[in-house]
Structure 1
Amino acid sequence: MEKLKVALGILIIIFAIAMAFSFKSGLSPYVTVSYVLEKGEVRNVQVNGTIVPNSTVYLENNTRIFELTDGKAKMKVIYTGILSNYQEGIPAVVVGDYYDGYFHAKKVLLKCPSKYAAMEENYSGKVAGKVK
């Protein structure tokens, strides 16, 4: 009975260690556009930035290419999929890999555009370039 308890304890420890490594390998760090361009090729990262106005090119099959900026550098992002709240000029996080001069996004996380329009209206008296 004592050997069974020891064996069970060892199995629990091994399982916990395996889960910790699995969790850690699934994490992708947040980096800047400048960091990605400096490295030249990166895999499995999350990049914070703002979608550059007038930079979006729509292709077939729900594919679009747009630029993301951190205020210092711009990076071309290619994404295939539906983005319901997509607008240029709003903050976004892209998740994926950078190679061949493009960030190949697996996911695009968009900030709520109405939140930023309301903030702009409250602080500047304007909404999306229109004067009140």
Structure 2
Amino acid sequence: MKRRYLIGGVIILAFILFGMRTFMRHITPYVSIAEARRVHKTVQVSGFLGVNKGTYDPQTHSLRFILTDKHGDSLLVTYRGVKPANFDNATSVVVIGKYDSGVFKAKKLLLKCPSKYKDRTL
């Protein structure tokens, strides 16, 4: 009887460890631009778009823009995909991807449009 509990406990522990390892492997940490340049793994970087909203090529579906963080560091970002509809109105952007060869290659863009977050007064 004790042997069955021991085997069951080991199996449960193995599933817990496997789940934790899988979770930790798929988590994407927020980092600064300076840190994104140092680590060469998938990260999230938050920043602001300047006056120049970048360039978009509809033929290749590629978007290039400069992201600046709160410390004043800037980063060239490239994104391959359809340009988000509210990109030109966005001020704050979170990019998810990797830094490689002087360029941050974003796989995802998360945008904050200022008009959606204004206080509403009645």
TM-score by length of structure 2 reads 0.82
**Per-residue deviation, 1:11:** 0.3
**Per-residue deviation, 1:53:** 2.2
Q: Which residue of 2 aligns with 1:52?
A: 50
Q: Which residue of 1 aligns with 2:61?
A: 62
Contact map agreement 1:42 1:99 (CA 8 A) in 2 = yes
Question: Is structure 2 residue 85 aligned with structure 1 residue 87?
Answer: no
In structure 2, how many angstroms separate the alpha carbons of the residues matched to 1:111 and 1:101?
25
1:111–1:55 Cα change, 3 Å: closer
**Per-residue deviation, 1:109:** 0.8
Q: Which residue of 2 aligns with 1:115?
A: 116
In structure 2, how many angstroms separate the alpha carbons of the residues matched to 1:23 and 1:53?
38
- Taking only aligned residues, the RMSD between alpha carbons, in angstroms, comes to 2.1
Q: Spell out the pairing of 1:1-132 with structure 2 (5 A cutoff).
A: 1-37=1-37, 39=38, 42-59=40-57, 60-71=59-70, 72-82=72-82, 83-87=84-88, 90-116=91-117, 118=118
Q: Gapped runs of 5+ residues in structure 2?
A: none
TM-score by length of structure 1 reads 0.77
Amino acid of the residue matched to residue 96 of structure 2? V
In structure 2, how many angstroms separate the alpha carbons of the residues matched to 1:88 and 1:104?
22
In structure 1, how many angstroms separate the alpha carbons of the residues matched to 2:66 and 2:31?
16
